[in-house]
Each structure stands twice: as C-alpha cells, then as structure tokens.
Amino acid sequence: MGIQTVGIIGAGTMGNGIAQVCAVAGLRAVMVDISDAAVGKGLATVSGSLDRLVKKDKLSAADKDAAVARIKGSTNYDDLKAAQIVIEAATENHELKVKILKQVDSILAPDVILASNTSSISITQLAAATSRPEQFIGMHFFNPVPMMALVEIIRGLQTSDTAHDAVKALALALGKTPITVKNAPGFVVNRILVPMINEAFFVLSEGLATAEDIDAGMKLGCNQPIGPLALADMIGLDVCLAVMQVYLTEYGDSKYRPCPLLKEMVAAGHLGRKSGRGVYTY
C-alpha cells in the first residue's frame, strides 16, 4: 500500500510547501497549525502557488482543484490519526519541537512514522523524546519545497531500515531526489554550505575582492545560481552566524569559527533582506 495520507504539523512556508507536493503527487495531506488564521494562510499560499502553475500551463485547472481537495486544514491534532506518516515542520526551536512531538506521539498508532523537517536539530535527540525512536526520522526538504528536488533523509542512531525505506519511497513518490545521511550537525548540505558562506565573509573582510566580485566569481567559476554573500542575505546573517556557532560548539573544531565581520554585521542589525540591509542594501 505504502503511504496514502501525510500529516504535516505547521502551515508555514515549509509545511504548506510539503502539503502542496503531497497533494500534486496524488496523496492526501492533513495540515495542522495552532490557529484557523495560520491554517487559512497556508491553504491560500498553496492555492496561489498552484494557480501560478496553471497560468504557466504546468498544471491543468482540474488537477489544481483535485490537489486542493486532497489537503485538509485543521487545528486539531486528532485529525493526524488518518496519516501513515506525520512530518513536523514547526519553528526551528528544540523545546517547541519536543513538546509538539511528544503530544503527537501520544495519539498516533504505534506503526506510524514520525519525521522532522529540522535543518539543524539532532534527529537522535528528538527520537529519544518519543515512544517510537525506531520509527523516527529526519525528512529535510529545501525551500521552496515545490521547486527544490532534494530531500535529505536523516537516520538517527535508532532509526529502523523499515522507516528509512518507507520515507525514501515517499520522497521518490513526491518526485524528489532523496539522499541518506547519518545524524550530525548540519547533516550534509548545510555542513558544506554555511562554512563556505563564512569563508566568503573572511575573503570580504580581508579586502581580497568586493562583495560583487566574490559573488560573480562563485557564480561563474563554480556554476552556482547565486553567490554566497547574496545567499547569506537571503538566509539571514543571524541564521548563518547561529549555525556556525552550533558547528563550533558541537564539533569543537576551530575551522568553524564564525568570521568576525559576520558577527559585527549581525550586532549592527544588518541581517540581510529581512532587515533591508546585509552585505547588500535592499
């Protein structure tokens, strides 16, 4: 049978994106958030996103309506009982995630898989907070979910082969390309990406080249769609700094030392696009 219904906790950017790809792939999705307003906003985002696909002739109007009909919005965790897997896509906060996972864990049937879309929190640690550590796994989608092909599947120390294989099959059914990763800070992509961004700040702070030239160099020399400094502005300089600090603490290796310029800019409130100013001005 495989997975027919996917539960999603969180109707924000990641949650509604996951609901959209599930619905388009023909699966039912139950998207839960704390308020009717949050759920409504999530459903409206999906509808708008699908409308754009219809305008571009990438989706028929009938398929759009069918996809929308497959998503159920709710503020009640009990509605997640219909799912064979529940993916938590709440804010990146350890205490909050543990609280949510414990609550959901207590109402789901024992064979239901519980997954987290975390980009930085230990899957092993989250699994240990539940009564189903073998059935717990990381399923890290990338933003924007409908556009990005990759899903990192993160195995905690306790994750079973059965849970891993079911989640890998789900990722493939959603049209994604999964890679399997062991649990470690940053997993694979961010472990390589964020130190690269940090190194770009060192190059900038040493005056080796202008921000524009550093970004042009990496775009044209490494075929990256966006330069590392412009990407840092998109992610948020405060987020980049926080991630580097986690790596420094967790790995205890000085190569993860955050660039002093990055720390200075965060201290100045120059956080990137969201604050109107980062490496660049917006």
Helix (H) or strand (E) holding 22: helix 13-24
Whether residue 212 lies in the annotated active site: no
Choose, from 16, 152, 183, 198, the residue flagged as catalytic.
Answer: 152
Structure tokens at 104: 């959901």
**Burial 220-234, CB ≥16 within 10 A → b, else e:** eeeeeeebbbbbbbe
Choose, from 122, 183, 190, 198, the residue flagged as catalytic.
Answer: 190
Rounded CA-CA distance 215/226 in Å is 7
Whether residue 152 lies in the annotated active site: yes
Whether residue 16 lies in the annotated active site: no
CA 257 vs. chain centroid, Å, equals: 24
Choose, from 88, 140, 183, 198, the residue flagged as catalytic.
Answer: 140
Choose, from 119, 120, 183, 198, the residue flagged as catalytic.
Answer: 119
Rounded CA-CA distance 156/136 in Å is 8
Helix (H) or strand (E) holding 73: strand 71-74
Rounded CA-CA distance 232/275 in Å is 13
**What is the side-by-side strand order in the sheet with 113-116?**
71-74, 28-32, 5-9, 85-88, 113-116, 136-141, 150-155, 177-182
Whether residue 190 lies in the annotated active site: yes
Catalytic site positions: 119, 140, 152, 190
